[in-house]
Amino acid sequence: MSLPANPTFDNLTPEMVAKTIDHALLKPEMTVDEVLAGCQLCAKYNTASVCVKPCDVKLAADALRGTTVDVGTVIGFPHGNTPSSVKTFEALQAIEDGAVELDMVLNIGHLKSGRHDEIRDEIRSLTSAAKAKMPEVVIKVIFECSLLTDEEKVVACKLTEEAGADYVKTSTGFSTGGATIPDLKLMRANTTKGKTFVKASGGVRTLDYLIECLQAGADRIGASATDQIIDDMRARKAAAQQ
């Protein structure tokens, strides 16, 4: 479902908003029952995807079979510190378990150390292996923008695009900050629109901020307040029609 060129409350629908959301079920203390309830919520609202921990991919894939909700997971989460070979193995295992979207954390410390070739090679290696196994798999690269300078964010955008990944993503939601409008504008300005997409994640808890993120260049939104966001839009749309 494509979005308007300039998304606003007036030209968006609840269905459009739902299809921008990757519903996050990543808290370490989440029980199996809570994960299943989250999958049911995704099916009810018809979100773009559910993003679960790697251990829950099979569970989510079974729960959402027959729906149009994709199953995603995280790789090298939350700090990006596992070796490249381990990230690639984790990605291939996730695909085997039923994931079709993979959000990988780049090696933040090595990016800040200027080891750019290493970062590009890691993203390229994982992306190539994952797409060889499943050509339609979507690869998103998490930067953790709150820990980076603007110059480092621009470099990360360029490396991600050169490596062939599909998305650049602001944050894990588990560090010192989340998605900001300046970061989204910077990421959009330093990637090729239509080739590399932008995901806002971390702190997107309201409909108004979700729309701000879309206007700043985000194509996808990571959120856990999915039901509140969509219910708010439905209520406001209904009120506007009275």
Active centre residues (catalytic): 169, 199
Residues 84 and 82: their CA atoms lie apart, in Å, by: 7
Residue 144 host element (H or E): none
| E strand intervals along 70-118 | 70-75, 101-105
Q: Which residues pair with 24 in a beta bridge?
A: 51
Amino acid at residue number 209: Y
Give which of 87, 69, 47 is closest to 227, Cα–Cα: 47
> What is the DSSP secondary structure assignment for residue 147, as one 8-state letter?
G
Residues 165 and 186: their CA atoms lie apart, in Å, by: 18
Give which of 241, 240, 229, 239 is closest to 21, Cα–Cα: 229
How far is residue 232 from each of residues 81, 209, 228, measured CA to CA in Å? Answer: 38, 12, 6
